[in-house]
Amino acid sequence: MSHRFITTARLNWNDQGTPVATAFDDVYFSNDNGLAETRYVFLGNNGLPQRFADHDRDLFVVAETGFGTGLNFLATWQAFADYKRQQPQGNTRRLHFISVEKFPLSRDDLQLALRQWPELTILSEHLLAEYPVLVDGCHRLWLAEDVCLDLWLGDVAEVLPQMDAGLAGRVDAWYLDGFAPGKNPEMWTPELFTQLARLARNGATLATFTAAGFVRRGLMEAGFEVKRVKGFGRKREMLAGYRRTDNRAPCPAPWYWRRPGLGEHTLIVGAGVAGAALSRTLARRGQRVTLVEQADAPARGASGNRQGAIYPLLNGDHDTLSQFYLPAFLYGRRELARLARRRPFTHDWCGVVQLAHDEKSGNKIDKLTAGGFPLALVQPLSAEEVNETTGIEAHLGGVAYPLGGWVCPHELTAALLADAGDIECHFSTSVTGLERTQEGWQVQTGSGETFSADNVVLANGHALTALAQTEALALYPVRGQVNHQPTTPALETLKTVVCYEGYLTPAWQGLHCVGASYDRRDAGLDYREKDETDNLAKLQATLPALGELHASPGDGRVGIRAACRDHLPLAGAAPDKAAQLDDYKDMPKRAGQAFPLATDHAGLYVLSGMGSRGMCSAPLLAELLAAQIHDEPLPLGQEVLDALNPNRHWLRKMLKGKPVE
C-alpha cells in the first residue's frame, strides 16, 4: 500500500445544517438527529455500552467503515467515558476505535460539522487538536490514556486487507457505515464483507443502517448471522448481526506471523530511547516493567547526544522506507508533544532543511518534491528561500520539513521513563544469557543475579547479537562521532536544523552539533581527531559563507548505532532461524502446501536497528511492539509489518528459493 494522494471531502450544507458530500449527494448523518441515530443504529445494536461491563478482556475494539465527521467515534467515546465513571473497576479498561476514510474532512470542515453537538464539545476539541496531516495510512491517535483511535486514510478496499487480524480476529463490534449502497456502490462489495469477517473475533457484533438484501446476503456468506431489525426514526428496517464461529481462514503468510506475549511482566534490556519508549507504552497498558541497563544511567549510548534531528525519511518512490517513516514521524511528533506537556524536555520544532548540496542530492530532492506530499510535510525551497528559512547564507536550493526539528535525546529518554511511572530499574547490570523455562524467561547477568519475566525485549542495540537466541540477526554496529561547535556570529542566526552530507543544529547553550561520521561495523568508542576534522570539512565545503570554524579538540561525543542493510529497523518476536530454515525450505516448490506458523523464541522480542533515526522511529516501534505483545490492533499495514519482521532477511531469500547462509 504505497502512499497515495488523499482528496478531502467536498461539502455542502443543507437547509437543516447537515453536511452533505457532494461526490455522493448524501448526508453524513440524519437530518432529524444524527447523534440519536448513531446511538440507536451503531451503539444500541452492538449492545453498547452494556457490553463494556460484560466484556471478557480489558480492551474493547470497535471498527467502522467511514469516519466522516467522527460522530460515531465521539458518541462511542462518550458512552465509554460514562461507563468508566459509573464502573471504574469494570472489565473493559481501554477503548480502541478503528475507522477507515477515503475522503476525510478538512480540519475546518470537521470543526464546523461538530459544532452541532454541544454535548460533545470537550471530546471534539481533543479530536481536533490531534487531527492528523491528511496522508494515507494509519494515524494512531491517543486521545486519552484509555482511548485510542486508529484513523486509516485510504480506500477501504485497499486498507482492510492490510490490517493484521492475528489468528482469531481483533474487532469486537463493527459499525458498517458509509454512504448508502445506492450512492456508493463501490464500497459495498463481497470483498468488503469478507474482510469484515476476517478481522472480527468470533461472536463479534455488527450493525448497519441499510437493510439492502444484497448486503444481508453478502454478510451471511462471509460468516455473519444477520437479521433485519427496526430502523431509526422513519427508516423501517436496518441490519444487525454477529460473526459465527466457523469459516475462519488460516493465516495467509504464516512465516510473518507475529506472536503475542505470554503474561503481564516484561523485562526490557536497554535504557536508551527505544527501551524508555517501550517502558512507557507497556506501563500504559498495565504491564509490570523491569528495565535492565549495562551503563550506570539511562541514555549512555547512542541516545546520549546533546541534540538529535527529527524528520521523516521520505522519497518520491513511496517505497517501504517511506511507508514506514512517514507514520513513524507523525506518530512520534504527536507523542512527544503530549509527553512534553507532562514531562518537559528540551526540544525545538524549528523545522529541518535538507540541502541540494550536489547533483545526486538535488535529483533526490526533485523526485521527493514531485511525490505529492502535502506542503505541511514537504516544501521545495529555492536558494533564496533556503537562506530565508534557515537564517544563514547557504545559496543552495533544497527542501523543508516544516514539522521537523530537534530534541535532546538524553532528556527525552529521562522524560519517557518518568512518564512510565513505577517501573523497576537496574543499572550497571549487564545481561550475559537468556534461558526459557516453563514459567517464562530467566535472565542471567554479569554479577550473577538472575531476573525472571514472562517476556523479554532486547532493546540494547547491536549488543543483542552477543546472545545465543539473537546472534543470527542481520544487525551491525555503526560508529558515529559528532562535534560540539561553539557558536559564531555567522552561526548564531541559524533557525533550523540543516542537513547535507552531515547535519548542523541551531545553537543550544552556545553550542551547535555538527555530525556525524558513519563507520559501518565499527564499535570503537575512542574519540578520533580525523572524524572531528572531517565533520567540519563537510560543513565548510557545503556552507563556505560560515567562514573558518574551529572545534575544540575532543569536544564532542561518540555513539554506536545499530543498523540493518535495508535501513529498516527490527521490531518483533526473536525468530528461531534454524527451525524456520527447516520449516520453510524449498518454499517455491511447495506452492499450495500448508506451512506452520513462524517458529520463534516465545516471549522474546527484538527492538533495534534504528540507525541514526531512533528519535523519529522509536515511539511508533515501541507502540507496535507493545500492541503485538498484548495482541491488539497494530498501527501499520501488513506490507510494512513484514518489512520490519526480524526474520525478513532470510525469509526474502527463501520465498525466492535462494540459499541462506
For residue 103, give the CATH number of its domain: 3.40.50.150
Residue 20 banded pLDDT, cuts 50, 70, 90:
confident
* Section 504-516 average pLDDT: 96
Residues 234 and 268 in one domain: no
Amino acid at 508: W
Residues 272 and 418 in one domain: yes
CA distances from 152 to 158, 180, 220, 465, 556 (A): 11, 20, 26, 36, 43
Residues 394 and 278 in one domain: no
Q: How far is CA 57 from the centre of its chain?
A: 23
Residues 632 and 497 in one domain: no
- In DSSP notation, 295-353 reads SSSSS-SGGG-S-EEE-----TT--HHHHHHHHHHHHHHHHHHHHHHHS---EE---EE
Residues 55 and 137 in one domain: yes
Average pLDDT of the chain to the nearest whole number: 95
CATH at residue 296:
3.50.50.60
Residues 278 and 390 in one domain: no
Does residue 250 have a pLDDT over 90?
Answer: no
**313 belongs to a structural domain:** no
Angle (deg, nearest 10), helices 614-629 and 273-284: 40
Does residue 531 have a pLDDT over 50?
Answer: yes
| Chain segment 56-70, per-residue pLDDT in tens | 999 999 999 999 999
Q: Which three cell numbers stand for residue 166?
A: 492475528
Q: Which three cell numbers stand for residue 253?
A: 503468510
**577 belongs to a structural domain:** yes
Residues 78 and 226 in one domain: yes
**Given CA atoms 318, 254, 141, 625 in this order, what sign does their dihedral have?**
negative
Residues 158 and 208 in one domain: yes
Q: What pLDDT was estimated at residue 179? A: 75
Domain boundary among 517, 537, 563: 563
* Section 139-143 average pLDDT: 98
By three-state DSSP, how is residue 117 classified?
Answer: coil
Bridge partners of residue 451, in order along the sequence: 443
Does residue 3 have a pLDDT over 60?
Answer: no
Residue 4 banded pLDDT, cuts 50, 70, 90:
low
**33 belongs to a structural domain:** yes
Amino acid at 239: L
Q: What pLDDT was estimated at residue 607? A: 99
Residues 264 and 378 in one domain: no
CA distances from 197 to 160, 168, 174, 221, 279 (A): 11, 10, 10, 10, 34
Query: Which residue segment(s) compose the domain that 226 sits in?
Result: 11-243
Residues 130 and 225 in one domain: yes
**315 belongs to a structural domain:** no
Q: What pLDDT was estimated at residue 442? A: 98
Q: CB-side exposure of 260: number of CA atoms within 13 Å?
A: 16
Does residue 541 have a pLDDT over 50?
Answer: yes
**334 belongs to a structural domain:** no
CATH at residue 398:
3.30.9.10
Residue 248 banded pLDDT, cuts 50, 70, 90:
confident
**Rounded to an integer, what distance in angstroms lies between the CA atom of residue 642 and that of residue 533?**
41
Amino acid at 15: D
Residues 6+ apart with CB under 8 A from 82: 49
Amino acid at 174: W
| Chain segment 100-136, per-residue pLDDT in tens | 999 999 999 999 999 999 999 999 999 999 999 999 9
* Section 343-365 average pLDDT: 97
Q: CB-side exposure of 228: number of CA atoms within 13 Å?
A: 11
**Rounded to an integer, what distance in angstroms lies between the CA atom of residue 605 and that of residue 628?**
10
Cell numbers 519517557: residue? 416
**Rounded to an integer, what distance in angstroms lies between the CA atom of residue 416 and that of residue 410?**
10
| Chain segment 419-470, per-residue pLDDT in tens | 999 999 999 999 999 999 999 999 999 999 999 999 999 999 999 999 999 9
Domain boundary among 501, 535, 563: 563
Residues 214 and 263 in one domain: no
**Rounded to an integer, what distance in angstroms lies between the CA atom of residue 325 and that of residue 373?**
13
Does residue 593 have a pLDDT over 70?
Answer: yes
Residues 6+ apart with CB under 8 A from 52: 60, 79, 80, 83, 87, 90, 91, 92
| Chain segment 379-395, per-residue pLDDT in tens | 999 999 999 999 999 99
Q: Judge contact between 276 and 268, C-beta under 8 A.
A: no
First to last CA, the chain: 31
Residues 516 and 580 in one domain: no
**248 belongs to a structural domain:** no
Who wins on pLDDT, 366 or 14?
366
Beta-strand pair 224-230/19-21: unpaired
Q: Judge contact between 35 and 67, C-beta under 8 A.
A: no
Backbone angles phi, psi at 482, to 5 degrees: -120, 140
**236 belongs to a structural domain:** yes
**Given CA atoms 401, 406, 407, 410 in this order, what sign does their dihedral have?**
positive
**Rounded to an integer, what distance in angstroms lies between the CA atom of residue 173 and that of residue 64?**
8
Q: What pLDDT was estimated at residue 168? A: 87
Residues 6+ apart with CB under 8 A from 30: 18, 36, 37, 232, 233
Bridge partners of residue 174, in order along the sequence: 63, 206
Domain count, the chain: 3
Domain boundary among 504, 538, 563: 563
Asked if the peptide bond before residue 544 counts as cis, ω within 30 degrees of 0, the response is: no
Beta-strand pair 288-292/424-426: parallel
**2 belongs to a structural domain:** no
Does residue 1 have a pLDDT over 50?
Answer: no
Q: CB-side exposure of 486: number of CA atoms within 13 Å?
A: 9
